[in-house]
Amino acid sequence: MKNKLSIAICIGFLLFSESCKKNEETGLTLSSGVVLDSISDSGGYTYIATPSGEGPFPAVLYNHGGLGTEVGGDLRATVIALAESGYLARAEKRKETTSFSGHIDEVEVALEELISNTKCNTGKVGIIGFSRGALLTLQAGKSKASDLKVIISMAPAQANGQLDNTLADVSSFDDPILILVSTNDLIQDNHVQLAQMAYDSLNNNGKNVTHTIYPYYDSNGDGHQNTPPDDGHELFWKVQDPYWSDVISFLNTYL
């Protein structure tokens, strides 16, 4: 009886594993012609969006915000929007840890995976990120400068002094950098001040950096300017203007 039960469990596990493999890469073709692949891995997930056509394509890695189980930004919508603008795009959900330890390693591996894609134009690769992902984007911009052509950091987080440490020496940066923030991004941290600090550190050292501060973001849509409850950080939770057209314009200029 035990043997039969063991065999049944093994068969069930194998069938489940095979089912998971089949669901890993969807190859979903959207109406725009973009092909979207979804990959599951240890509770996380990766989205890869490929433009219509043969390629190779300029490529962009997107790094989300949030920490732990919270995810800031829309990974799926972002890679689709990038692909619809002609970019091979990748976004990965990082490990659900509040500690920053190991996260830059995940980003660097994701960047390597993007570059190794057969449809990637390896001479035209960019990296963008939001909040904690914006900080990681800056860190990767230093460590992987030779692989990149453009960096976009949206409302970078401090993360217990990590931003200060990253900006203490900016000599490794050699790519155009765009820093974005909303004027009322003040609740979770003073991201307006942090974005200004990042810009000043880079600009004062002769780097090619652009800084854009967007008007007040009415995050709850009530027509009133009250912070809180309005949180300018939420501007980057989804793909929308005014910031998104600036992202695409910057990418188009340098990739």
Q: Per the structure block, which two tokens stand in for 110? A: 């994701």
Q: Is the pLDDT at 19 greater than 60, yes or no? A: no
Structural domain count, the chain:
1
Helix axes 132-143, 103-116, angle to 10 degrees: 60
Dihedral sign, CA of 132, 136, 141, 147?
Answer: negative
In angstroms, the CA 114 to CA 88 distance is 8
- Does some domain include residue 6? no
pLDDT tens column, 108-166: 999 999 999 999 999 999 999 999 999 999 999 999 999 999 999 999 999 999 999 99
As to burial, measured by CB atoms within 10 angstroms (0-12 exposed, 13-18 middle, 19+ buried), residue 63 is buried
**How high is the mean pLDDT of the chain?**
89
Predicted confidence at residue 99, as pLDDT, reads 63
For residue 118, what is the domain's CATH number?
Answer: 3.40.50.1820
- Does some domain include residue 205? yes
Q: Is the pLDDT at 176 greater than 60, yes or no? A: yes
What pTM did the predictor assign?
A: 0.88
- Does some domain include residue 9? no
In angstroms, the CA 162 to CA 160 distance is 6
Predicted confidence at residue 20, as pLDDT, reads 39
Q: Is the pLDDT at 23 greater than 70, yes or no? A: no
Domain assignment of residue 163, given as a range: 26-254
Contacts of 85 (CB under 8 A, 6+ apart): 248, 251, 252
- Does some domain include residue 18? no
pLDDT tens column, 194-236: 999 999 999 999 999 999 999 999 999 999 999 899 999 999 9
Q: Per the structure block, which two tokens stand in for 80? A: 């689709």
Predicted confidence at residue 170, as pLDDT, reads 97
Q: Is the pLDDT at 101 greater than 60, yes or no? A: yes
- Does some domain include residue 8? no
pLDDT-derived band at 94 (thresholds 50, 70, 90) equals: confident
Cis-peptide, bond into residue 229, ω within 30° of zero: yes
Q: Is the pLDDT at 167 greater than 70, yes or no? A: yes
In angstroms, the CA 203 to CA 215 distance is 22
69 versus 28: the higher-pLDDT residue is 28
